[in-house]
Structure 1
Amino acid sequence: MATINADLQKRLNSLVSPVVESMLSQLQTSIGSFIDPKVIQGLKQSFLPSNLRDIGDAISFREVHDFIEQEGIPLYLVPRGRTAARLLRAKDRSARRRVLGDCFDTLMDDCEAVLTNVAHPALREEVTFALDGLGAMRRGHTRSAQAMFTVTLDTLISRFYPDRNKRKAVTNREKDADVPESFNAMGVHEAMVWLPIWNAHEQFWKDKGDEIPRHYSRHASVHGVSSRQFSKRNCVQVLMLVTSLIGYAKQVIWLTSPGRPDVVRIAAWPGGAEFV
């Protein structure tokens, strides 16, 4: 039964969020009167990552999908449900950034809880550096930590996408661009991880006169060192991106190679990644 359930969950997670929303709505309309509403709600929550399940009654897949299509803030594994609800209710980017500031301490706690629960040897280096950066944050060195998280994020992305040309799919977001078709084929959790990363990679060309943004930008962090870009809010935002991606990598490794913790080769990952 455990094997069947794991296989079912993988198949369910391969559905994109608008399809999930539509499927559950149709199911509730057609046979809802014959099924305990708790069953429908339980099915909905099975699609949500663990951090959002306690607010499953208060949010919709469409709200989550719309949020991650426009923001470089993840909702996969972090933050806790209460903070995620505040982010989803925030009316614009400025309001969402205020949430990052207001919840700075609990966001660090949420990320630390996920990172310290990742023990797989294939992720040891990235987890170590992420925790080092978190330690710097707690001592007030957020600029140093933001730099650490940014290069750690780069390393993780390169491991998922070793081919540079394929990597551009998530590291080259043109300004005002629509979401590429490749994201529409992703599963619920996969999209929740990669869309915020794509948004955080909006193009930035200092030599073309682009203004350094105040919101987190991977390219501006690397190519436009400035007090506008290096801030507490941006530091915690990129920590969340790193944490979300590490947690996702752990889950994919667990589902793909449960019997081989020493060697993990996952051809089904976006770039045919190999974690050894």
Structure 2
Amino acid sequence: MMPINWRGSRLADSEMIVLMQEGVPLAWVPPADVIQQLLTADDPASRAQVIDSCRPMILASCEAALASVTDTRFSAQKAPLEECVRMAEYGMFSGAQALAANAWDTLIRGLAFANPGWLKPSGQWPGYPKVLENIPAVGDDDPTIRQFREEAFLPFPRALEAFWPPAPVPQNFNRHATAHAAATAQYTPVNAVTAVMLAVSVLRDINDMGYPIQMHA
């Protein structure tokens, strides 16, 4: 029932939930030893340092996770994410972040359009707040389902936090700032790797779990 990068690693479940809610993807990627370093880091700044220093290992795990995506319906999303990994490996972080954010956004919309309850009554795109209302939350009274089978969704609220000028540009990876505040405050190597991890994690989980999805791409 667990993503392959968690199996046999004796990672602290409750601590991983907190970390994912902070916006750090942990499902399917990165490797367990990187997760352990993230769990022992003292604060978000220290965790960012772990992501930066472990970048080669993280990107290698993203490449391996993408290779495990076997559903041909997702070929059009898998290929750009493979490109993101290559860009990040060669230091083209801004391009990797922008493309990964858009690939992830495409997957979000695919999930929404396959779930009528997520949409407006007219069947139209409902906006991100409505999508977030439907993202599974930890702490429900059904632990057998919640036991990390929807863990790839836990970073969504942080990555989709509302951002409206003149508020400061978020320093963590943020989809809206990536789209609308393209500058060095948001575009960083750590945010690029986080964006790639998030998109790969979600795609790998969709492939594994067979979630209903209706791609408009």
Query: Do the structures match in fold with TM over 0.5?
Result: yes
- Amino acid of the structure 2 residue aligned with 1:199: R
The RMSD of aligned alpha carbons is 2.2
**Inter-CA distance 73–110: structure 2 relative to 1 (3 Å threshold):** same
- Distance in 1 of aligned mates of 2:128 and 2:167: 23
Counterpart of 1:197, as a letter, is F
Return the structure number with greater helix share. Answer: 1
Q: Report how many residues are paired.
A: 201
For residues 12-27 of structure 1, what are the structure 2 equivalents within 5 Å?
Answer: none
Q: Taking structure 1 as reference, are residues 89 and 211 closer, same or farther at Cα in structure 2, changes over 3 Å only?
A: same
Question: Closer, same or farther in 2 for the Cα pair 1:234/1:181, shift >3 Å?
Answer: closer
User: What displacement does 1:67 show?
Assistant: 2.0
Matched, 1:197 2:156: yes
Residues 1:64 and 2:25 aligned together: no
Give 1:239 shift. Answer: 0.4
CA distance in structure 2 between the aligned counterparts of 1:100 and 1:108, rounded to whole angstroms: 10
Q: Following superposition of structure 1 onto structure 2, how do residues 105-116 of structure 1 map, counting pairs within 5 Å?
A: 105-116=56-67
Q: Which runs of 5+ in 2 are unaligned?
A: 114-118, 120-124
Taking a change above 3 Å as real, the CA distance of residues 167 and 214 of structure 1, as seen in their structure-2 partners, is: closer
- Contact conserved, 1:104 with 1:236, CA < 8 A, in 2? yes
| Residue 5 of structure 2, aligned match among 51, 57, 69 | 51
With normalisation by structure 2, the TM-score equals 0.84
C-alpha spacing 1:167/1:55, structure 2 compared with 1 (3 Å): same
Report the CA distance shift for 1:182/1:120 in structure 2 as closer, same or farther (over 3 A): closer
Counterpart of 2:146?
187
Mapped to 2, the partners of 1:181 and 1:106 lie a distance apart of 29
Hey, what's the Cα distance between the residues in 2 that align with 1:249 and 1:148? 19
Name the residue aligned to 1:226.
183
Where 1:87 maps in the other structure, the secondary structure is: helix
Q: CA deviation at 1:138?
A: 2.1
1:201: how far off?
Answer: 0.9
What do the CA deviations read for 1:207-258 (whole angstroms, capped 9, x no partner)?
xx111122111111111111111111100000000110011011122xxxxx
- How far apart, CA to CA, are the structure 1 residues paired with 2:147 and 2:2? 8
| Structure 2 residue 108 is the aligned partner of structure 1 residue 168 | no
What CA distance in whole angstroms lies between the structure 2 residues aligned with 1:189 and 1:167?
A: 23
**Greater Rg by CA:** 1
Tell me the equivalent position of 1:245: 202
Matched AA of 2:162 = Q
Give the letter aligned to residue 73 of structure 1. V
Distance in 2 between residues matched to 1:181 and 1:127, nearest whole Å: 23
Answer yes or no: is 1:217 the counterpart of 2:174. Answer: yes
Equivalent residue number for residue 44 of structure 2: 93
Large movers: runs of 4+ above 6 Å: none
CA distance in 2, matches of 1:167, 1:227: 24
Structure 1: give runs of 5+ residues left out of the alignment: 1-46, 173-179, 254-265
What amino acid sits opposite 2:147 in the alignment?
A: V
Identity fraction in percent: 24
